[in-house]
Structure 1
Amino acid sequence: AIKYNNQNSEIYTNLAVVCQQLQQFECVTDNYGKAIELDPNNWQGHYGLGTFYDEQEKDDLAEKQYQLSIKTSSQAILPINNLSRLKIIKGDYNAAIALARQGLQKAKEPELRAVLYKNLGWALFEQKEYSQAKKYLEKAKELDIHRTSTHCLLAQVQEALGDVDYAWISWEICLLTESREPEVFGWRSQVLERIRLKDPIRQREE
């Protein structure tokens, strides 16, 4: 396609996505860069480059690209969601909540609304607003029951509220369902370490 039209930014964006899946990193940055150079208003290019940096745990670079993507298109909800998640990881919970709410005002698809509710619940959990966090995490679960991170977070919120039996059910789902989210691996490690040390949830509530 590039041979026939080397001025189409979408072609370079698509090539960068393929390179990202193949983990050909120089190819990723080169082609996203070319796509953005040809069309500075290409929000997908900034978003894609942001996800690449996100996967490499280069949070500052990812955040910059997500911000550029949001600035380029008011309808770019995916980078709003990803930036909200990064803000939580960095401990900027108020910014994360504001971004999640901004995304929810625009998002229509159930799965996208679910992940925004998940981020909202996550940020509130970190702020120890457990009842509010539970409300939004349950909304996220209703909209997308397959997202593992929602169950992991709900387990922690239920535990904090003393809902021990429900917490164990949520932990079981958290441990057994598939996920590629790095925070999920962290939460799994924490609960498995507690089990290994024979430190059950019930004991923590005493």
Structure 2
Amino acid sequence: MNSAFIQGRTGLLTTVCLMAVTSTMAANPDTPIPDNSLECSAEALTKAPYCRLGNGDIGFLLQASSGSSINTLALTPMGLELDQQSQSIELDGSAYRAELADLDGNGWPEVYVYVSSAGSGSYGSLVAYAVNAGKSITPIYLPPLDASSPEHSGYQGHDEFRVVENRLVRRYPIYRADDINAQPRGGTRQIQYRLEPGEAGWVLVADRIVEY
């Protein structure tokens, strides 16, 4: 991963193991919430029994399968008043990091799980949820890059995501028309997203794009 960041189809056996972990997580609502555990590495996300993220009384248990082009993430919220149901999410690739943050500063955390696809492109995607006033969670939507937009020009994957202060930052190399996959020569593009309420949930809105 880029050190320039500042602070911020599974086989049968894997599927069975993940289902068992999800069941265990859902069956133990009193699992202690960790204090200020704000990040999970790729190793922690795939290591039994789960990775724990926490912020005060609110937390998440995360467990991801790995080793396939399509994997699964089990995500269980903890400490909520109404709904602590586990979520099972299909991943196009492998989860390589998860972070807890409060981008909108409303006092309730969000969880961001970063995914990299299999193959030479390593296209990035995001799984994210926001806590709704301590009662439930709602998915956060990251709009895809518009093929007709300037930020899509030269894009061929290799995304990196990270929380930097109160923004989600996405970075990727810029490819020129004659560049080969492993040797982009067009520099780097960085997109900053702020978190806003949408019509039916939460959405990440690009508010700054820089190239260098």
- TM-score w.r.t. length of structure 1: 0.26
More strand by share: 2
More helix by share: 1
Structure of higher CA gyration radius? 1
RCO comparison, higher one (Cα < 8 Å, 6+): 2
